[in-house]
Structure 1
Amino acid sequence: MSEYGGDLRELYQEVIFDHNRQPRNFHPMPEANHHADGHNPLCGDQLTVYLRVEDGVVADVSFVGHGCAISTASASLMTEAVKGKPVGEIEALFQDFHAMLTGPDHPGRDFGKLEVLSGVKEFPARVKCATLAWHTLHNALVDAADTANTE
C-alpha cells in the first residue's frame, strides 16, 4: 500500500475513534415524532434512532444505545449527514451508503465524512455494524413497528 493509502487509513480510523468516543447527537429526543429501535444480534449492538420530521425534512435527529466502535461511529456520522435533509434525499443516501458497503462498485456519490466507513467493506462481518443505524433510521422514517436488525 502506498504511503498515502496508509495515511488515509489512519485518518479514517481516527475519525471513527473520535465519533465512537464522543458520538454526536447522542441523547434521547422527547419531542421526536418518529423513532425506531435497532438490534444487531451478531455482536449485540442496540440503538434507538429519534427523528423530528417537519414538512418532509429531518429537522432533528439523535440516537441512544450501545455497540461496537463501528456501530456507534456510523450512527454518529449518520446523524450529522441527515440533519436538515429532505426525507427522499435521505432514502437515496441510505441506498447508496448500503451499496458502498455491500456492492461490487462504489456508487460514485460524494459521501463526505461517511466515506470513512467505506473500509468496513473489507470486513464483511462488520458491515452489519456499520449499517444498523441506517436500517433503524429507515424504519423510523416509515414508522415501521418492528425492530430493525441486520439479519
Structure 2
Amino acid sequence: MSSNNLDTLYRQVIMDHYKNPRNKGVLEDDSLTINMNNPTCGDRIQLTLKLDGEKVVDAKFEGEGCSISMSSASMMTQAIKGKNIEEALKLSEVFSQIMQGKDYEDDIDLGDIEALQGVAKFPARIKCATLAWKAMEKGLKEE
C-alpha cells in the first residue's frame, strides 16, 4: 500500500473514532476518576476506570478537544479494557515510544492505535494524542 493510501486510511480511522467515539460516558459506583487537561490547547478529559483487583474491566471518557485528542481517548479505552494494570501501563509506554518516533515491540497488537503514528511528525499535537494516556497512567499508578 502506498504511503498516500496509508495516510488516507489512518485519517479515516482517526475521524471514525472522533465522530463515533467508543466508550464515551461516565462510569458510576466504585470507579476511579481522573481529570486532566492540556492548557496549551484547551483539550480536557475525564477518564473513569472500573478495576477488579489488578484488571481494568471497564473504561469510559468524557471531554472536549480536537479530533486527535478525542480519537486517542476512544482508542485507548478500547485497548485497555480487559487488560491487567501492568499490561495497560506497558501499552501506554509503547504509545509514548510511538509518539516520540521510536521503534516499539512488534509483537504488540496496536489495533486502531497504529493510526496515530503520524502524530509523531507534528510535535505540537503529541500532547493532544497523549492526554488520555497520561490520565490512565496517573490513575493506575495512584491506585
Normalising to structure 1: TM-score of the pair?
Answer: 0.89
Aligned partner (choices 40, 43, 67) of residue 41 of structure 2: 43
Q: Please give the alpha-carbon distance, in whole angstroms, between the structure 1 residues aligned to 2:132 and 2:103.
A: 20
State the shift of 1:6 in Å: 0.7
1:56-86 Cα distance to aligned partner (Å, 9 max, x none):
1000000001000000000000011000000
**Structure 2 residue aligned with 1:72:** 70
1:77-128 Cα distance to aligned partner (Å, 9 max, x none):
001100000000111111111011114x221333221110000000000000
Matched, 1:102 2:97: no
The residue identity in structure 1 corresponding to 2:98 is M
1:12-58 Cα distance to aligned partner (Å, 9 max, x none):
00010010011110001112431111101111000110000002100
The residue identity in structure 1 corresponding to 2:4 is G
**Structure 1 residue aligned with 2:113:** 114
Matched, 1:25 2:35: no
The alignment's C-alpha RMSD in Å is 1.4
> Which SS does the other structure have where 1:53 is aligned?
strand
Q: Give 5+ residue unaligned stretches, structure 1.
A: 145-151
**Structure 1 residue aligned with 2:60:** 62
Runs of 4+ in 1 over 4 A off after TM superposition: none
Would you say how many aligned residue pairs link Structure 1 and Structure 2? 141
Aligned partner (choices 76, 79, 82) of residue 81 of structure 1: 79
> Which SS does the other structure have where 1:142 is aligned?
helix
**Structure 1 residue aligned with 2:11:** 13
Q: Percent identity?
A: 38
Normalising to structure 2: TM-score of the pair?
Answer: 0.93
Contact 1:36 1:143 in 2 (8 A): no
